[in-house]
């Protein structure tokens, strides 16, 4: 048992190391996140200026600016847009090598992704959190328990994001090319998860509809936990439910796909 866990742990560490080698890319990505963050701060400041500071669904200006830096930092951690090589490996057929290895492929890919997310948390999230906290009005949590809750919520967010990306890659088994599906997801996922503006700015009907989707679990919920908006347990519970559901569906779809795979001799 411990040997099995050790194996996945080592895959996670490998994922961490793999992403830590692209220093230039990480620096450039963070710089891009910061510039977009600055533009968002400008827009949201103008919003509160026009409202004479009146808050929107629990978000005042300070909370909104805190939201911006948390969101920009989490973007790299949660990762909506990575061009996964899994779908390419399915297209070329290399995936049969992965499938025949003595591991659970879904779990192994998840382990790699957690390593990637861990590196992003250190290299992208923390610097932007500090930047936001030092240079802008910032809302630190008032309760020390928020820190562990935020950590759990962020891990759950990464899990939800991973399982959705896994499912999108799985469509390659049937569509042979998942670029269309992944492209559409890339366009809508950020906004629906609360990347562009806080979801509490949305009209009520849209907020209610989004509650029934996994999107807010990937970004808005961890941020809500940090700025102490809403019940923590309800938020974490909803995220956990989505993780379990999506993981189960992913497993099922992979099993179905396995029945489809025909390995040509070679």
Partner 1 sequence: MADLAVFARLARAQVRGQLSYRSSFVMNCFGQALAQANDLVVILIVFGRVASLGGFDISAVLLFYALSGMSFGLADMAVGSIERLPAYIRTGTFDVVLMRPLGTLLQLFASDFQLRRIGRVLTAFGVLVYVLSTSDIHWSPAKALLLVLTPVAGAAIFGSIFVAANSVSFWFVDARELANTVTYGGSYLTSYPINIYAGWMRTLLAYLVPGAFVAYYPGLTLLDHADPLGAPSWFGWLDTPVAVLAAVLAGLIWRSAVRHYRGTGS
Interface contacts to partner 1, rule CB under 8 A: 22-25, 27-29, 31-32, 35-36, 38-39, 42-43, 45-47, 49-51, 56, 180, 183-184, 187-188, 191, 196-197, 201-203
**Which C-beta is closer to partner 1: that of 102 or that of 203?**
203
In this structure, the number of other CB atoms found within 10 A of the CB of residue 33 comes to: 22
- Measured in whole angstroms, how far is the alpha carbon of residue 153 from the centre of its chain? 11
**Which C-beta is closer to partner 1: that of 181 or that of 254?**
181
C-alpha R_g of the chain = 20
CA dihedral over 16, 215, 196, 139, signed as positive or negative: negative
Closest CA to 155 of 63, 236, 70, 247: 236
* Nearest distance, CB of residue 260 and partner 1, angstroms: 22
**Which C-beta is closer to partner 1: that of 147 or that of 184?**
184
* Nearest distance, CB of residue 223 and partner 1, angstroms: 17
Q: In b/e form, how buried is each residue of 201-230, taking b as 16+ CB within 10 angstroms?
A: bbeeeeeeebeeebbbbbbbbbbbbbbbbe
* Nearest distance, CB of residue 31 and partner 1, angstroms: 6
* Nearest distance, CB of residue 152 and partner 1, angstroms: 29
Helix (H, G, I), strand (E, B) or coil at 197: coil
Helix (H, G, I), strand (E, B) or coil at 102: coil
Q: Are 163 and 245 in contact (CB under 8 A)?
A: no
**Which C-beta is closer to partner 1: that of 39 or that of 245?**
39
Q: Are 141 and 226 in contact (CB under 8 A)?
A: yes
**Which C-beta is closer to partner 1: that of 32 or that of 208?**
32
Q: Are 228 and 249 in contact (CB under 8 A)?
A: no
**Which C-beta is closer to partner 1: that of 31 or that of 147?**
31
Contact partners, residue 192, CB within 8 Å, separation at least 6: 210, 213, 215, 216
* Nearest distance, CB of residue 108 and partner 1, angstroms: 26
Alpha carbon distance 114, 186 (integer Å): 20
**Which C-beta is closer to partner 1: that of 31 or that of 252?**
31
* Nearest distance, CB of residue 22 and partner 1, angstroms: 6
* Nearest distance, CB of residue 34 and partner 1, angstroms: 8
């Amino acid at each position: 048992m411990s040997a099995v866990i050790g194996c996945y742990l080592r895959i996670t560490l490998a994922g961490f190391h793999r992403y830590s080698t692209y220093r230039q890319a990480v620096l450039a990505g963070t710089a891009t996140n910061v510039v977009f963050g600055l533009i968002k701060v400008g827009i949201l400041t103008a919003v509160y200026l026009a409202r004479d500071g009146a808050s929107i669904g629990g978000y005042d200006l300070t909370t909104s600016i805190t939201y911006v830096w948390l969101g920009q930092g989490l973007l790299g951690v949660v990762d909506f847009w990575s061009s996964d090589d899994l779908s390419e490996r399915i297209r070329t057929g290399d995936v049969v090598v992965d499938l025949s290895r003595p591991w659970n492929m879904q779990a192994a890919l998840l382990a790699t992704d957690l390593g990637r997310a861990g590196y992003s948390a250190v290299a992208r999230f923390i610097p932007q959190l500090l930047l936001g906290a030092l240079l802008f009005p910032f809302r630190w949590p008032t309760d020390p328990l928020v820190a562990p809750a935020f950590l759990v919520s962020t891990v759950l967010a990464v899990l939800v994001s991973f399982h959705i990306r896994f499912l999108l890659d799985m469509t390659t088994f049937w569509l042979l090319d998942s670029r269309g599906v992944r492209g559409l997801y890339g366009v809508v996922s950020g906004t629906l998860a609360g990347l562009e503006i806080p979801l509490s700015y949305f009209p009520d009907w849209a907020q209610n509809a989004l509650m029934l989707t996994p999107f807010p679990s990937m970004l808005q919920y961890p941020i809500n936990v940090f700025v102490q908006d809403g019940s923590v347990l309800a938020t974490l519970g909803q995220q956990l439910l989505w993780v379990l559901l999506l993981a189960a569906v992913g497993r099922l779809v992979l099993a179905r796909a396995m029945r489809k795979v025909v390995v040509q001799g070679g």
